[in-house]
């Protein structure tokens, strides 16, 4: 079987983990081998990077933050993603380089193209076959996070203006690559979103 690389993107609180789990269950029921992973944190090295970038209590320079994400991404793709695709597995991943462009590029007000180029270099040009963008306005997303009653990480704790820039950046990325992106209204019922995702993935699997 041909491998497939599927990523889920969007702001915090849009339901990426829920939809990734539903897609995994559906694919396994079809007899597909699935690797479900995330960035940062998809490897032992990535877990250490995740602790730094999401939970470090002190200041991290924006460029240093972007480099940490890129370093995690390089190791993760080399050791997890590419081998799985080569085996014919479907890789389902929570966040990839589009998150760096949105969060470090737009959110941290770095040059988005430079951030993208850095990640593309880190992964030797690997792009997903399908990127599902779950789109939700920042106010609704924050209400969902508040309802979880869990401490915010460094990015979740940023102000509304930061998250508005991130959302705009994601939508700009999707507009530029409509063949790769599936943009879904994250306020739709969970089952409706899952059906839209399944249809796109099934189409790419042939």
Question: How many helices and strands, by DSSP H and E, does the chain display?
Answer: 9, 5
Total residues belonging to the chain? 206
Cα–Cα distances (Å) from 112 to 19, 59, 100, 130, 154, in that order, read 27, 21, 8, 21, 20
List the chain domain ranges: 4-205
Model confidence pLDDT, tens digit, residues 6-24 = 999 999 889 999 999 999 9
104, 65 in Cβ contact below 8 A?
A: yes
- pLDDT by residue (tens digit) across 48-99? 998 998 888 889 999 999 999 999 999 999 999 999 999 999 999 999 999 9
Q: Average pLDDT in the 155-181 region?
A: 90
Retrieve residue 64's tokens. 């240093």
pLDDT the model gives residue 53: 87
Give the closest residue to 10 by CA, choosing from 116, 106, 129, 98. 98
Sign of the CA dihedral with 95 first, then 37, 146, and 64 last:
negative
Integer angstrom CA distances of residue 116 from 67, 68, 95, 131, 149: 11, 14, 14, 15, 33
pLDDT of residue 54: 84
User: Global pTM?
Assistant: 0.92
The CATH number that domain 4-205 falls under is 3.40.50.300
DSSP, res 11: S
Distance, CA of 11 to CA of 127 (rounded, Å): 20
């Amino acid at each position: 079987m041909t491998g497939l690389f599927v990523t889920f993107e969007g702001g915090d609180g849009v339901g990426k983990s829920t939809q990734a789990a539903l897609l995994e269950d559906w694919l396994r029921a079809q007899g597909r081998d699935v690797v479900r992973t995330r960035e940062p944190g998809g490897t032992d090295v990535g877990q250490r990077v995740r602790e730094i970038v999401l939970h470090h209590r002190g200041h991290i320079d924006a460029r240093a933050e972007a480099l940490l994400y890129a370093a995690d991404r390089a190791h993760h793709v080399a050791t997890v993603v590419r081998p799985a695709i080569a085996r014919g597995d479907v890789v389902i991943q929570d966040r990839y380089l589009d998150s760096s462009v949105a969060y470090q590029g737009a959110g941290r007000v770095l040059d988005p193209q430079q951030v993208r180029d850095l990640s593309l270099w880190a992964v030797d040009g690997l792009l997903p076959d399908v990127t599902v963008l779950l789109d939700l306005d920042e106010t609704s997303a924050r209400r969902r996070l508040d309802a979880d009653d869990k401490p915010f990480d460094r990015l979740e704790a940023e102000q509304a203006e930061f998250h508005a820039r991130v959302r705009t950046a994601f939508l700009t990325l999707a507009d530029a690559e409509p063949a790769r992106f599936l943009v879904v209204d994250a306020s739709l019922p969970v089952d409706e979103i899952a059906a839209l995702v399944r249809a796109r993935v099934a189409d790419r699997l042939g």
